[in-house]
Chain A
């Protein structure tokens, strides 16, 4: 188990380095000079050169890469010349907003999605099952930003129940929660359908297993059969998906954050890409990749705890 954990963590580090190298290559292949963009068309060559120097862009690429990794290891993600603040500070300021949004969105989606999936299995083959199927596919198909716009229209503009934009007043938990409801709703709704379908499919597969018949043959009540014998096995693919889901929900948060004018990693990175603000782009990507790898690795290790068969494959 420990050896497996070490292997997984080493793999995560390798992936992280690869991603960063690929990012560096991509950044330098994209046309556009950050210094000219920042200073405008009328800047003097000397001024541009000065800025390039301060951003470290005058060095050879390999040296830049080396500096970047070296600094990243010591927790220094670089300095943003636009806002005149360290990159890490900005990330740490914006990331909690995005994380709270992602977790809230995924959280309600998981609860409702698993419940709907179980409901579809309990009433399998009936009208309820079919209606849930149509509902799920519908929810999956609607893009988050469309839901976001309609949600603003209905709940903020017409009904005036919830704020349309922003992340709430700092320090006022009530207003922050109210500001979270619509974005989390818009971001999570697609996942409700997705999870309902996944849970239904994996539960149905498991319900056909012999050990379900065994549990019934010993007179275990149906609820205990479904929860302890079926869901425990059926939940494994869902957990694997949730890890990937949190990563993808954090990246799709960009749309929702834009629509709701909500400060977060999404708005930070889109702004930085538009300005060719490399330190912020690189720092944010590194941070998000690391976070994502952390989640996926943690989920993998959790699965090995839940499924003893997987655990044993790696014990050998």
Chain B
């Protein structure tokens, strides 16, 4: 297996908020290799978007990395100077944003922005950047790219905007693509098309993709491996088939049980995980999921769970799982 292009090692990150701190990520370790698609799943507030932001070094001003590294092609980007980090963006790592409605400036044309976004591409004249942008729009399936280049973002449909956002991310052929909820703002038909497009582009460009989503269907369609997050930790990591067919961590099982697409028996009831996320500014001493877990014991509530290896590329953070 080839070397990881992007890896996160023991990353802990917290947000400073009025009256304390919120532990958004705790000792997260993940890696993605060239050509691999990694899915990060979890419910709202589990830290998956923070993790995505940390990977491209776009955390908010109130975020504070307390430990760990983010290595891009072997270099720890958190140790680089701001100018050096800026040089990497777009070229080595790029992001597809969650909401294509607001991801583009409303007062500049799509073309002007796509040209701007190639800022880190040295020695390429503006005219050539324009051509590259137009070709990329054609590649992501816009029927009239020339016209779309001259349009303002609000003049494109939601699906077209999302395609344009993907085109923007691919402009400089980055080694890693981070997609934060790439289909959440779209309807089901559009979602299917975008998933199809991402799969196609991934096959063409062989870049590593990290997809952050709460949509398990998207992960099943696209990903090679999945990391399930809960309350700022990765609770289970597994190849996608293994995870879907044999979920091991109680949280993963509960999550899969709640996926409307997987409910075969017409019970007429949509199951939900009882309770809610623990308070991240005041975490319990043991397993963060214990309060909502059906099989939790006193040990779970008292001591943090170990990371149990469950086979090749497979692990779970739980007292109760056995290899």
Contact = CB atoms under 8 A, between A and B. Distances in A.
Contacts of A229: 105, 108
Nearest to B93: A217
Contacts of B120: 218-219
B119 A233 contact: no
A209 interface: yes
Interface in B96-135: 97, 99, 102-108, 116-120
B105 A211 contact: yes
Contacts of B47: none
B117 to A, nearest CB: 4
Interface stretch (B14-22, B71-79, B84-92, B251-259): B84-92
B107 A217 contact: no
A306 interface: yes
B58 A217 contact: yes
B25 interface: no
A215 B120 CA distance: 12
A210 B100 CA distance: 9
A216 B88 CA distance: 11
B56 interface: yes
Interface residues of A, number: 22
Contact of A219 (B91, B99, B103, B108): B91
B95 interface: yes
B58 A216 contact: yes
Given A211-B104, A221-B86, A233-B107, A309 B91 contact: no
Contacts, number: 80
B155 interface: yes
Contacts of B91: 219
Contacts of A210: 97, 99, 102-103
B89 A213 contact: no
Contact of B154 (A213, A217, A232, A309): A309
Contacts of B97: 210, 213-214, 217
B244 interface: no
A218 B90 contact: yes
B119 A218 contact: yes
A306 B106 CA distance: 10
B116 A308 contact: no
B227 interface: no
A228 B116 contact: yes
Nearest to B87: A219
Contacts of B86: 219, 221
A186 to B, nearest CB: 36
B116 A307 contact: no
A46 interface: no
B104 A214 contact: yes
Q: Give the residue among B56, B105, B154 with the most A Cβ atoms within 10 A.
A: B105
B107 A218 contact: no
A166 to B, nearest CB: 45
Contacts of B105: 211, 214-215, 229, 232-233
Interface of B: 56, 58, 86-91, 94-95, 97, 99, 102-108, 116-120, 152, 154-155, 168
12 contacts: A213-B58, A217-B89, A217-B90, A218-B118, A219-B90, A224-B116, A232-B105, A232-B107, A308-B107, A308-B154, A309-B106, A312-B154
Interface of A: 209-211, 213-221, 224, 228-229, 232-233, 306-309, 312
Give the 10 A-B CB pairs with smallest separation, nearest first: A219-B89, A210-B102, A218-B117, A218-B90, A211-B105, A308-B152, A219-B120, A219-B86, A217-B95, A219-B90
